Amino acid sequence: MKKYLSKRILSSLLAVTGLFIMVFFLARLTGDPGHLYLPIDAPLEVRKEFSEKHGFNDPIYIQFGRFVSDLANGNFGDSLRKQRPAIDVVLEAIPVTLSLAAVAMSIALFGAILIGSLAAYKPNGVFDRVSRVVSLTAASAPDFWVAITAILIFSVSLRWLPTSGIGGFPYWIMPIGILVIRPLGLLVQVVRGSMITALSSDFIKTARAKGVKEKAVIFKHGLRNGLLPVITVAGDQAAAIANGAVIVETIFGWPGIGKLMIDSILQRDFAVVQASILITAIVILSINIIIDIAYAVLDPRIRHK
């Protein structure tokens, strides 16, 4: 297991390095960001002066050399927009997104396991049919529309919840609710399908024949075998949220990494783009390693391989 994890981490580091280099060159192919940082009416000479000062006029291999040298000293560069170290800007934003992602995925996963398992217990029963329709609708729901509609209903009309912002528990309800909907809908479908397969297996018949209680049959024997595909999809969904719950962050005013990345890309704030991609890549690769560990925990066959 240790050897496997070491190999995984090493290959992940190589992937991150490759990504980092690729992002450096691709970002700079978009041209000189000078005119985004100066007023539209700034004279040409002023723009040239700006580009020279920041090295945007230099050949790309010189810019890369400078970047690598700074990186070797732990310097990601300064945000052109915010006039402070890019890594500080990114490290402020990532916990917001990670907390949203962690809470949302926990709720989605547990909810999906419960609902999907119960639906699979009696396929084509009333509960199964209702949960299938609702989960399909949820999986297809556009975040933006749901968020705005939720604000209009729960904040403006009913005055039950705040419209947006960060604060105590009420401020979390809508953002988490919006983030949960799609992964919950998707995971319910996956759990249901996986559990139907598991519950129709021979070992389940054996367990029942031995007199094992139904609750244990579903949640101990069936679920454990049905969880592997669920973990894969859940990991994928978690990575998608960790990559930036952009819509939720934008609408509810949560200063997370998704919004930061989009704004930085549009503003060609190269240092922040690179720093945020690096940190996000590390988070996603960590999620992948956690999934691998989860596989090994769930399935002894994988562990002993």
Partner 1 sequence: MTVKKISLAISTASILAIVGFFSPAYSASKNLTVVLSEEPDIVDPCEATRSNVGRIVKQNVSETLVEIDPKDGSIKARLATGWKQTDNLTWHFDIRKGVKFHDGEDLNAKSVVKSIKRALNPKYDCEIRTKFFGNMSVSASAIGSHTVAIKTKKPQPIMPALMGTMTIVSPNTQEAKGVRNPQGTGPYVFGTWTPGQSVSLKRFAGYWGDKPVVENVKYVFRKESAVRAAMVKTGEADIAPNIAVQDATDSKMDFSYFNSETARLRIDMSRKPLDDIRVRKAMNLAVDLDALRGTIFAKGVVKQTQIVVPSINGHNPRLKPWPYNLKEAKKLVAAAKADGVDVGKEIVMIGRLGIYPNSTEAMEAMHAMLTEAGFNLKIKMMETAGWLNFLSRPYAEDRGPTLVQGQHDNNNGDAVFSMYNKYACKGAQSTTCDSKVEAGIKAATVATGDKRRDTWQEVQRRLHQDIVPDVQMFHMVGFSRVNPRINFTPSISTNSELQVSQVKFN
Contact 88, 279 (CB under 8 A): no
Q: How far is the CB of 146 from partner 1 (least distance, A)?
A: 13
The total of other beta-carbon atoms located within 10 Å of residue 45's CB is: 8
Write the binding mask 135 to 174 for partner 1: x where contact by CB under 8 A, - elsewhere.
-------------x--xx--xx--xxxxxxxx-xxx----
Q: How far is the CB of 235 from partner 1 (least distance, A)?
A: 27
Write the binding mask 243 to 262 for partner 1: x where contact by CB under 8 A, - elsewhere.
-------xxxxxx---x---
Q: Which residues of 239-270 are buried (b: 16+ CB within 10 A; e: fewer)?
A: bebbbbbbbbbbbbebebbbbbbeebbebbbb
Give yes or no for residue 92 binding partner 1 (CB under 8 A): yes
**Segment interacting with partner 1 (CB under 8 A) among 68-76, 89-97, 178-186, 195-203:** 89-97
Give yes or no for residue 295 binding partner 1 (CB under 8 A): no
Give yes or no for residue 40 binding partner 1 (CB under 8 A): yes
Locate all alpha helices (DSSP H) within the chain, ordered by sequence.
2-28, 34-37, 44-54, 60-72, 86-121, 126-140, 143-150, 169-199, 202-209, 214-216, 223-242, 246-252, 257-266, 270-298, 300-304
* Residue nearer to partner 1 on the CB measure, 232 or 267: 267
- Report the C-alpha gap between 150 and 165 in whole angstroms: 14
Give yes or no for residue 85 binding partner 1 (CB under 8 A): no
* Residue nearer to partner 1 on the CB measure, 8 or 82: 82
Q: Which of 100, 85, 82, 80 lies closest to 256, judged by CA?
A: 100
Q: How far is the CB of 83 from partner 1 (least distance, A)?
A: 4
Give yes or no for residue 205 binding partner 1 (CB under 8 A): no
Show contacts with partner 1 in window 263-282 (CB under 8 A): 266, 268
Q: Which of 82, 99, 86 lies closest to 248, judged by CA?
A: 99
Give yes or no for residue 117 binding partner 1 (CB under 8 A): no
**In the beta sheet, which residues pair with residue 85?**
78
Q: Where does residue 35 rank: exposed (0-12), middle (13-18), buried (19+ CB within 10 A)?
A: middle
**Segment interacting with partner 1 (CB under 8 A) among 31-39, 67-75, 231-239, 278-286:** 31-39
Q: How far is the CB of 53 from partner 1 (least distance, A)?
A: 8
End-to-end distance of the chain based on CA atoms, in angstroms?
9
Give yes or no for residue 131 binding partner 1 (CB under 8 A): no
Give yes or no for residue 98 binding partner 1 (CB under 8 A): no
Contact 86, 79 (CB under 8 A): yes
Give yes or no for residue 176 binding partner 1 (CB under 8 A): no
Contact 61, 68 (CB under 8 A): no
* Residue nearer to partner 1 on the CB measure, 81 or 192: 81
- Report the C-alpha gap between 106 and 37 in whole angstroms: 41
C-alpha count within 13 angstroms, C-beta hemisphere, residue 167: 10
Give yes or no for residue 129 binding partner 1 (CB under 8 A): no
* Residue nearer to partner 1 on the CB measure, 65 or 165: 165
* Residue nearer to partner 1 on the CB measure, 234 or 241: 241
Which residues sit at the interface with partner 1, rule CB under 8 A?
30-31, 33, 35-46, 49-50, 53, 79, 81-84, 89, 92-93, 96, 148, 151-152, 155-156, 159-166, 168-170, 250-255, 259, 266, 268
